Amino acid sequence: MPHRVAILAYDRLCMFEFGCAVELFALERPELEVDWYQHLICAVEPGPLRGTGGIQVQAPHGLNALRRADTIVVPGWRDPAERAPEPLLAALRKAHARGARICSICSGVFVLAHAGLLEGRRATTHWRYAQRLADTFPSIQVDSSSLYIDEGQVITSAGSAAGLDMLMHLVRKDHGSQVANAVAQRLVMAPQREGGQAQFVPRPMPSRADSPMARLQAHLRAHPRDDHRVESLARHVGMSPRSLQRHFKASTGLALMDWLVRERVGLAKELLETRPQLDVEAVADLSGLGSPESLRRHFRQLGLPAPSRYRRQFG
């Protein structure tokens, strides 16, 4: 029997994520000369199912069809704050218990989390939802930098287009690189993207401009090239180093020097995007990262493409 992929459909359906899964698994591909997937569109609830833009979707199957699925795809979820219906959560638990592979795109990770399938596992989601996921489900090891994370039987992906990266990863696992490359050619996309979703995250601004931590952030942004130390910054805001570290992490979620590195990388990204006349050495200096080697190292550590490649992509 072909590998059966169940794609969930629900009211207020995320159409892009749903369309990605349908494009990958429902389209016939006789030119590949492999046993391609059999797809099942499964309704989470009674119809009509409304999608983004006023589209209506009719699903030929219900949740009972999940019992026959080898892979289940959750294409986003309509509201991260809304717990998915219990019949769906129960069906996913049963599918997981019998060995089915379960995947989520973007906010679909919250469905897997409510089903209890991510306890103690690494997972990712769109960077906008990462903190909410970590706060709501502290037992999940949230990685907000990855495009997708394969934990074996459970696979999660970041924002909408990262779902395609994850789905191509499934094709590569099931059919090998040659078939995956042929599918990617047909989709006119790279078989595997470099970097993580950090390359798409904007530089965050403080929510309260009058707070001591916001004023410190403004100071650091205005002087990225200075040789900042926790001790000198503590004197700047009139705190002890330990108190500063505690307040800064409570305010931003990051240790002070980690935040500073990310801010410098964010400035370097901005310079690469908007200042084509600057070479990599100048970008490293102006952003406070010091040297091209340091710039490349920090880009690599944050899952970004090399600076020259980043400029070609986003400049």
pLDDT digits (tens, 9 = 90+) for 122-165: 999 998 898 899 999 999 999 887 888 999 899 999 887 888 88
Domains of the chain, start order:
4-199 (3.40.50.880), 212-314 (1.10.10.60)
Mean pLDDT, rounded, for 193-213: 58
CA 139 to each of CA 117, 120, 133, 134, 304: distance values in angstroms, whole numbers, following the listed order: 11, 5, 10, 8, 27
- Write the CB contacts of 126 (distance below 8 Å, at least 6 apart in sequence): 106, 107, 158, 159, 160, 197
Look at 177 and 227; give whichever has higher pLDDT: 227
**Please, are residues 116 and 85 in contact by the beta-carbon 8 Å criterion?**
no
Which residue reads 């930098």 in tokens? Answer: 145
Mean pLDDT, rounded, for 245-259: 83
Give the tokens for residue 101.
């592979």
Mean pLDDT, rounded, for 210-226: 85
What is the tens place of the pLDDT at every residue in 259-312?
899 889 989 988 998 889 999 999 999 999 999 999 999 988 887 889 998 888
What does the angle CA 40 – CA 45 – CA 51 come to, to the nearest 5 degrees?
75
Asked whether the predicted pLDDT for residue 201 surpasses 60, the reply is no
Query: What percent of the chain is modeled with pLDDT above 70?
Result: 93
Average pLDDT score, the chain: 88
Asked whether the predicted pLDDT for residue 207 surpasses 50, the reply is no
Asked whether the predicted pLDDT for residue 43 surpasses 90, the reply is yes
CA dist 148 and 313 (Å) reads 20
pTM of the model: 0.68
pLDDT number for residue 191: 65
CA dist 253 and 249 (Å) reads 5
